[in-house]
Structure 1
């Protein structure tokens, strides 16, 4: 069968892919700064948005292709291709959000291979209507396009030194999806010799069905943007205005000390004790256990509603102390308050980069993370970092 396409639907399919990529990446970039339930919601929303957009692009792309006979899409392979898409995009987005170079390479492979595999699994749905054969060269090229271009999109969004506009990253990812699809279709041959000739018996045209699919994809993206993004913005507001003198609800009695963490005093405050517990130790909860973490193990702190999360380089550990109480316990000047809701360990600040009107500090840790810096504190932080590095050189000398 010689294929021909409805170019209006081809353009619509590419727009759906780019739009879903933009919203999916927009949500994914906020995963690293989210915690607990909000983190899981952002991962799920990003994966679902991308999956619907990618699957919708493929489905609209199939509808754009003129068929010589009636085509029945088997339900099971169609659903399986969608579920596969949700799974691989979720895994890829989660690994990319950790901002580790090694995990980013794996994420690119998972994303690209998943997109291509989803396409060929979905094509099984046409086996009852036609005999399908593939040109091996086009199959290989389609996998290469999916892996390399989606990898480039993820790298630009999560790892580039100066991230380009998000729309450009989304365009690359959308092109990876659509480019893979139409390259694969170019090497696909359909044999309808045993199928009935196409008759206008369908109650819905391909154009109408394509528009419905695209509207559903846009609606899902819009719902996630409207429900999750305002919530994330609200969480970034100042939580320091809680009662500065409020007494922590944490009871220090019968609390274990994590044997894997050692408290290394940084200055004279290490000798201070609160209810028999060193002031240099922060109470945390990990895997349902109440433990303590030494100040030397803390990389950053983030205020979240009435509680805080202590980041140790790999995990966000729940802490019931307010950010003001934590800042009072942490040794100075090693720890610096970059924002009313954030504290960083200067020893783990890799570089300070401009971000809009303010800036962000990139942390050096096994799991990459950035911390916002208030515009008024950018210059002061740079001075503190220079002073900290000077102190380190003096200690070495």
Structure 2
């Protein structure tokens, strides 16, 4: 059995993979929050697609291959089958997109989130092991079944939490904190799955065909840049509630702000001495001149 090194470049690759997962989670949660507030089915489909690209593409798939930069096996070179690698990306983006479609429409409920999380988590696990199956080396891959099941469970739990956060979190600080937690979950699933792997080298060494991970890194980085820039532009260009209210006003459909509860009216001004004289003697009439004793 060959010796495996998951951190060939130290903590640089796991730190970068965690940063990518947090970045993708932040953008994905913001886009997912726009799904339920969208005005038309086309807008909901747009925000759902953008959220799937951010979560499935950046937070999960790109994180996976950034972490794989630090993966090495003694005694063999590692290459990747490009079509299988692309298929793993399609698994991640498609699974997240379907999960968001399940929870992003209709009434939010625990069964709906659970079904979406189960489907999305299974898709994330399929992405991971499909990406591992894309590896080409002079050896065979074997997995510890218990750890594989544990990684799938982590993926399902992480996906369920991600979908729940996608439909409930709205404030900026909460979104950032949620993205930090999601980054831990995504990386935890990846390295749990990687810990289940063992490599048995072949006695006869042959030519390893495929693309090196460094070759795949350039298009992956370019794709991340384009996706992030596009998502940021879409978020900045999206109309806010104030913009919609202004547009409705200009169209003649004025939207008045909600009426505030009226505060109690202040007491009327009291002429000097009037109230005091009206209550003089607790209801006793004022003395008249006849009641006044003679001097």
Pair 1:64–1:243, CA change in 2 (3 A): closer
- Name the Cα RMSD after superposition: 3.2
Correspondence list, 1:54-203, <5 A = 54-68=60-74, 69-98=76-105, 100-101=108-109, 102-127=111-136, 129-159=138-168, 165-194=174-203, 196=205
Correspondence list, 1:20-31, <5 A = 20-31=24-35
The answer for the alignment partner of 2:229 in structure 1 is: 222
Pair 1:73–1:26, CA change in 2 (3 A): same
Moved more, 86-95 or 131-140: 86-95
Pair 1:49–1:153, CA change in 2 (3 A): closer
Q: Secondary structure at the match of 2:164?
A: helix
Correspondence list, 1:287-306, <5 A = none
Contact 1:16 1:217 in 2 (8 A): no
Hey, what's the Cα distance between the residues in 2 that align with 1:195 and 1:31? Answer: 54
Contact 2:169 2:175 in 1 (8 A): no
Q: TM-score, normalised by structure 1?
A: 0.56
Aligned length: 251
Q: Secondary structure at the match of 1:238?
A: helix
Higher strand share: 1
Contact 1:25 1:46 in 2 (8 A): yes
Contact 1:95 1:107 in 2 (8 A): yes
The answer for the alignment partner of 1:9 in structure 2 is: 13
Contact 1:119 1:181 in 2 (8 A): yes
Hey, what's the Cα distance between the residues in 2 that align with 1:92 and 1:52? Answer: 14
Q: Secondary structure at the match of 1:190?
A: strand
Higher helix share: 2
Contact 2:79 2:213 in 1 (8 A): no
The answer for the alignment partner of 2:273 in structure 1 is: none
The answer for the alignment partner of 2:240 in structure 1 is: 233
Hey, what's the Cα distance between the residues in 2 that align with 1:139 and 1:77? Answer: 20
Q: TM-score, normalised by structure 2?
A: 0.74
Pair 1:40–1:70, CA change in 2 (3 A): same
| Contiguous gaps of at least 5 residues in structure 1 | 245-322, 325-339, 342-373, 382-397
Contact 2:85 2:134 in 1 (8 A): yes
The answer for the alignment partner of 1:242 in structure 2 is: 250
Pair 1:379–1:156, CA change in 2 (3 A): farther
Contact 1:16 1:218 in 2 (8 A): no
CA deviation after TM superposition for structure 1 residue 185, in Å: 0.3
Q: Secondary structure at the match of 1:232?
A: coil
Structure 1 position 52 matched with structure 2 position 57: yes
CA deviation after TM superposition for structure 1 residue 225, in Å: 1.8
| Contiguous gaps of at least 5 residues in structure 2 | 263-295
Pair 1:92–1:192, CA change in 2 (3 A): same
Q: Which has the larger radius of gyration?
A: 2
Hey, what's the Cα distance between the residues in 2 that align with 1:186 and 1:237? Answer: 54
Hey, what's the Cα distance between the residues in 1 that align with 2:37 and 2:116? Answer: 19
CA deviation after TM superposition for structure 1 residue 71, in Å: 1.5
Structure 1 position 38 matched with structure 2 position 43: yes
Hey, what's the Cα distance between the residues in 2 that align with 1:380 and 1:37? Answer: 38
The answer for the alignment partner of 2:277 in structure 1 is: none
